[in-house]
A = this chain, B = another copy of it.
Amino acid sequence: MKLQSTPKQDGFYMPSELAPHKCTYLLWPERPDNWREGAKPAQKAFREVVEVIAKHEPVVLGVNQSQYLHVLGMNMPNVSVVEISNNDSWIRDSGATMVINGKGDIRAVDWGFNGYGGMTDGIYYPWDFDDYVGAKMANIEKTDRYVPEDFVLEGGSIHTDGEGTLLVTEETLLSEGRNPGKSKEEIEAILKEYTGAEKVLWLPYGVYKDEDTNGHVDNICQFVAPGKVVLAWEDNPNDPQHERSQVDYDYLMNETDAKGRKIEIVKIHVPNVITITKEESEGVDVVEGTFPRNEGDRLPASYINYYNCNGAIILPVFNDPHDEEAVRTLQELFPDRVIETVYAREILLGGGNIHCITQQVPKA
């Protein structure tokens, strides 16, 4: 059922992604105007992500009816294949944010979704199916739903430490296409009300050229523990990423979290510049109203867009010299978690990465 109260009123909050999960949701990629070659290479990459997560926790894979039998027939262990009509496969952004109360109850926050900016700068049209993905997740999980009135938010634009602090970027949350009638203070108040957070840290920037999402936080920074984050980094001062990372770094160094802790920052260098090839670009259907994937466009590649599942980290890699450092850094940060790498160029070509295509359901 749709509830009339808010999570904060009811004692619910969004736990850290690092807390134990019940399962992970994904959506199956299909649209040929975003995924090259009829989405077949992307489907292979998504399948790899699904199967590697399913080694660690149950997966629920939502598919359009058109792909149901294909995906069901893969007969993947620990994977439930359910029908969730969707416009694209970024369930981090279209899906529900699950909240818990620490007493064994779980509920969903079903944010508004408008295709990353609606008619202002959205990247596809229509986005109506994606706007119901959160409700469908909640209903499949048989949980009640909070539905913030007249408020657009993608799950990839927030991170939480589960102890009262949210990480967001100004670039996304204050963009014209999200909630143009609302001030920063109003947006912050809604975020706190629906995630249970006490403090919001507003990073100025996301990753350079992360234009689809207007710079989601989940590509540049995420918590590895309360009071401790990893930040996408670029050493080269001539690369536009350098200044963005530096500004975010400086911001965080001068902030404290909801508990008054200073923020410890671990840098993870981005891979070398990745651009779309001619062949890759030509494999994508050209459709008016859909964000183009042009030859030579720089992609917003970052290791920070990894996913934390039970006992593991699912890390995108790029056959890049920086891959090894990313693996080593995360393994040092998480000695008890397996670092599972997936070659993720095909996901990146669609505009996001592993964190963007996953959405956890925490254990109640």
Contact = CB atoms under 8 A, between A and B. Distances in A.
Interface string A61-72: 000010011001
A83 interface: yes
Contacts of A75: 1-2
Contact of A72 (B68, B69, B132): B132
Nearest to A77: B1
Interface string A48-80: 000000000010100001001100100111011
Given A68-B132, A69-B132, A139 B77 contact: no
Say which size band chain A's interface belongs to. 20 to 34
A65 to B, nearest CB: 5
Contacts of A72: 132, 135, 139
A287 interface: no
A50 B68 CA distance: 27
Given A68-B132, A72-B132, A129-B65, A142 B58 contact: yes
A50 to B, nearest CB: 13
Contacts of A68: 85, 132, 136
A187 interface: no
Interface string A116-152: 0000000000000100100110011010000000000
Contacts of A77: 1
A190 interface: no
A45 interface: no
A65 B72 CA distance: 19
Contacts of A142: 58, 60, 80
Given A132-B69, A135-B72, A140-B140, A83 B80 contact: no
Given A1-B76, A72-B132, A139 B65 contact: no
Contact of A140 (B69, B79, B80): B80
A26 interface: no
B139 A80 contact: yes
A101 to B, nearest CB: 19
A81 interface: yes
Given A58-B142, A129-B65, A83 B1 contact: no
A105 to B, nearest CB: 15
A84 interface: yes
Contact of A85 (B80, B83, B139): B83
A83 B81 contact: no
Interface string A318-339: 0000000000000000000000
B2 A83 contact: no
A82 interface: yes
Interface in A1-25: 1-2
Contacts of A83: 82-85, 136
Nearest to A66: B85
Given A65-B129, A69-B132, A81 B139 contact: yes
The 5 closest A-B pairs by CB, nearest first: A80-B139, A65-B85, A83-B83, A80-B142, A81-B139
Interface of A: 1-2, 58, 60, 65, 68-69, 72, 75-77, 79-85, 129, 132, 135-136, 139-140, 142
